[in-house]
Each structure stands twice: as C-alpha cells, then as structure tokens.
A and B are shown apart, each in its own frame.
Chain A
Amino acid sequence: MLKELKLYPKFVSMSLRSTLSYKADSIIMILSFIVSEAVSLATIYLIVGTVPAFGVWSFSTLAFLFGFVLIPKAIDHIFTDDLWILAYWAIRHGDLDIYLTRPLNPLYQFVAKTFKWDGLGEFAVGIAVMCIFAPQTGIAWTFGGVMGLIVCAVLGVFCFSSIKLLFASLAFWVKTAGIFLNTIYSLSNYAKYPVRYMGKAFASIMFFVIPFGLFLYYPVECLITGVNIWWAALWSAIAAVILVTLSLSVWHLGIKRYESSGN
C-alpha cells in the first residue's frame, strides 16, 4: 500500500503533463460537461416549473441537490476515468498484460495512470451551484450539518467509483460491459430527482440495489426534511464498505479469469 501511495504523485504529474499538450481538448471537454449539466438543470427547471410545489422540494432545493450530486461524480471522474476504457476495450486489446508483468498491483497501475484534471472544473461547478442555491433552500445550516455533508460526499466518491469498477469488471466476462456501465451511469443522473416520489419500486432500487439514491440523494433529503444528516453518513458508510468489498472481489475474480483464459 505504501509503495502505491508514494508513487501516486508521480503518476499524477505525468498525467498532468501528458494532457498539457492537449489544452484545447481539455477546454472542449469542460465545455461539453457544462453544456450537459446545464441542459440537465434546465430540464429539472422546466419540469418542476409545471407545478406550484413538488412535495418538500422547490427548484432551489432541487438545484442544491443537483450541485451536490456533481461532487462525487466529478471526483470520481478525476481519478478513475480509465474505467471506461476497461469496460469497453482494454481487456480485448490486452492492455492489462504489461501491468501484470510488473511487481505492482495491476488495478492500481491501470487507474493511476489517468488524472483527468478537467474534473476539477466539474468539481468547481458543483460547489458553485451549491453555494448559489444554498441560501434559498431554507436549510438551517450548522457546522455539524456541513461536516456531515462533506463526509457524505467523500463516502459518495468511494461508492460511485466502486459501482463503476464493478460494472467495468464485467468486461472480463462479456463484451457488452461498456453498454451496461453506460446504462448504470445514466441511472446515477436520476439521483438528481426526488427519488422518493418516483414509486416504491424505483425508490427501493435506487436505495438498496444500485444505491445512487442512498449516497447521492438521501444526504440532501435529510438536510431538507430536518433529519440528522449523520444518519445519511452512516448509510453511506455502510454502502461504501459493501460496495468497495464487492467491486474489488469482482475485479479479483476477473483478473483470475484473465490469467486463466487470456483475452
């Protein structure tokens, strides 16, 4: 573990310098992200605007939720963006081979090599949206509340990346892992909506099966409804432990399969 930690700054600096020659591309990526999220937010605005009140939610509170959801997504994008490559073609192209010949954890090597700094732009947008709408939400802000939210965000990163890893690892078994990952990823966008109103079945799935609702939506719902946010933190922690263990196990099974059946 120590070796991986010591090596990480080196990987990051190499990634940063690699992308320096592609400045225009990074700007386009940030622009594309802003456009996507703006459209997403506008959609929410238009839909919520058709009713005078959406339960406990108003546009401001939904916008705040929106900003919060962006945070773990952005951080995950910064560190683990290469998981998309794993899902789509890394296995078939034998990209993992060279990592297996080195005395260093192959998953670490695969993920550490990309540090997508345009994710920092996404992170900033998330923070900005939260700050803009926070005053209008009518939430009674306390120090504990803010800390709780931050803890939830951090745990959310682990949950989010684990889910990505889990579905990306399916690539060891099927060729369509990329499509599954894409579908699951777009499911995460629905955590920006009032999950609890969208039917018992959907809410159950979002809370307990693929728990985007649990670690993205629930913390903010707690703040809005006055429930202690540390309950959300607890749930997020439980989810994080389960998801991290599960995803790493699937990855290990996948690598074992790779080593026994090639690609």
Chain B
Amino acid sequence: MARGRLKKYFIFTKSGIQTVIAYRGRVALWCLGAVINALLMGLLWWAIYEFSPESVIGGYTFPQMLMYVILSAIVFEVINSDSMGTIVDDVRYGLIGMRLMKPINYRLQLGFTSLGSFVACMAIVGIPMIIMGLIVALCAFGLSGIVWYNVLLFLPVTLLSALVYDSIGFLFGQLAFRTQAMFGVSSMTNVLIGFLSGSMIPLAIYPSWAQSILFYTPFPTMVSLPVRLFLGQVPWSELGISVAVSIAWIIVLNVIAHFAYKGSVRHVVVFGG
C-alpha cells in the first residue's frame, strides 16, 4: 500500500488519542481498578509464599511475583482495544451503512484508532503507573535485573501486543453481525485472553504441556512477554522468536478477519442493517 494512502488513517489515530485524553479520568479509574485487583492477587500470593517451603515459586521470588502481577495487570489494561466495542455500537445503531459508503477501509480505521488509544493510554496512565510501581518496588524490595535497554524494548513489544489484541477484537467483533449477545462475547474474549496471556499469574506455573501449546498461540506474546522482558527475564534469542511469532499472528489474524469482514458485509447487504 502506498505510504500516502496510509497517511490519511493517522487522523483516526489522532482521534483515538483525543478520545482517551477526553476520558482520561475514566481511563485512570479503570487502570486503578486493575491495579487494586492486582494488589489483592498479590495478597493471595503473599499467603501462598507464607505456606511455601521454598521462597521461589515458578522462578519468582515474592517481590518479583508481586511486580509481575501488578505490571501484567497494567499492561493488560493498556493493550485493551475497543475495536470490538465500536463494531457492536455501529451495528446496534445502524451506522454500518454509513461505514460501507465511505471510501475508507473499516479495518484500518478501527486499527488506527486503537493505535491512538494505546499510545495515549500508555502515555497518560501506563507509563506513570509503571514508574510509580518501579519506585515503590526499588525502595521496598530493591529489584535487580531491570536493565535500561529492556525497558526501552518494552514499549515496541507492548505495541505489538496492542496490535494483536486489536486484531483479535476485530475478528471476534464480526460476531456482532450475527448475534445480540456481544456482552457475553466480549467478556469471554477478555477473560480468555487474560488467562492465556499470563496476566495475573505467570505462565511459568502452568503445566508444561499447556506452555508448549501456548507457545504457538499469540497469547503469551501479549502480556507475559513484555512483562518478563521488563523484569529482565527474557534472553535475546527468546525475544527474537517471540516477536516473530507475534508478527506472524498479526498477519494471520488480519487475513482471517479480512475474509470474515467480507462475509459480514455481504450479510448486512442481504439482510439489512
């Protein structure tokens, strides 16, 4: 695609950013809620570590586990894309007709908007919270293993995660054309992605057969990868492979979504909005 053609979609990115800025209070509250949830999870882990004969579980000491839980909660919130929600609203309010009439690729429009939301979320909420958490952690526990280049790499890797999340959201968002129960669908995707991507509990404590299977899915790259990268637990080789897997999935998911969307459009055209 010509770079010039893609350029116009950055308007949507800008709108995504502006929306998050306009609703920054609400966004902050959601992230705060996620952090509180993570802290409660941390309490549970504290209890577990009390009863554990060893001080290292799944390769994590308690401070590391706590850090993991909080970071993964924040990352999960930040990479969250609202593309599915937008599709649901468009279908419900009959705006799909308008979308089809415009000479704009719907997928790209939603994707670029999500990009904007991600950037704004990260800047306004994600980074401040991470910095705060780091300061607290360093003072309280003195975490080692955190290196500056990993921290920098953390940002583009989370960007990839956001793209994967957005692709999944768009793909399953196509169900909005067939059913009204999208609250259930979006809840399910959210829960499943959370569970399979290692948000809240590190994938290391999953049974090895599960970990092997998950390796071939996009999920571990979404939360587990960036968080462990941040904590300095990802060697270069693993990083390279995981990024490749992530990019491959982005391509695959979007190809499938492309055909799914075509099907949805046909459905709309035949049955009406």
Contacts and interface: CB of A to CB of B under 8 A. Distances in A.
Direct contact of A and B (CB under 8 A): yes
Interface of A: 22, 24-26, 28-29, 31-33, 35-36, 39, 42-43, 46-55, 176, 179, 182-183, 186-187, 190, 193-194, 197-199, 202
A46 B37 contact: no
Interface stretch (B14-22, B42-50, B230-238, B246-254): B42-50
Chain B interface: which size bin?
Answer: 35 or more
30 contacts: A25-B179, A26-B181, A28-B181, A31-B184, A31-B188, A32-B181, A32-B187, A32-B188, A33-B184, A35-B188, A35-B191, A35-B192, A36-B187, A39-B191, A46-B201, A46-B206, A48-B48, A49-B205, A50-B52, A51-B52, A54-B48, A55-B51, A183-B36, A186-B37, A190-B44, A197-B47, A197-B50, A197-B51, A198-B40, A198-B47
B192 A50 contact: no
B92 interface: no
Contacts of B272: none
Contacts, number: 96
Interface in B51-67: 51-53, 57-58
A205 to B, nearest CB: 10
Interface in B166-189: 179-181, 183-185, 187-188
A29 B179 CA distance: 11
A31 to B, nearest CB: 7
A182 B26 CA distance: 13
**8 nearest CB pairs, A to B:** A25-B181, A32-B184, A197-B47, A28-B181, A198-B43, A32-B188, A28-B184, A29-B184
Contacts of A176: 26, 29
Interface of B: 26, 29-30, 33, 36-37, 40, 43-48, 50-53, 57-58, 179-181, 183-185, 187-188, 191-192, 194-195, 200-201, 205-206
A28 B26 contact: no
B205 A47 contact: yes
B154 to A, nearest CB: 25
Given A28-B184, A179-B30, A197-B51, 20 more contacts: A25-B179, A28-B181, A29-B184, A31-B184, A32-B183, A36-B187, A47-B44, A47-B45, A48-B48, A49-B205, A50-B48, A50-B57, A176-B29, A179-B26, A179-B33, A182-B33, A187-B40, A198-B43, A198-B46, A199-B43
B206 A52 contact: no
Contacts of A29: 181, 183-184
Contacts of A32: 181, 183-185, 187-188, 191
Nearest to B180: A25
Contacts of B33: 179, 182-183, 186
Contacts of A47: 44-45, 48, 201, 205
B29 A179 contact: yes
B51 A51 contact: yes
Nearest to B36: A183
A54 B48 CA distance: 7
A52 B48 CA distance: 10
Given A49-B205, A179-B26, A199-B46, A43 B184 contact: no
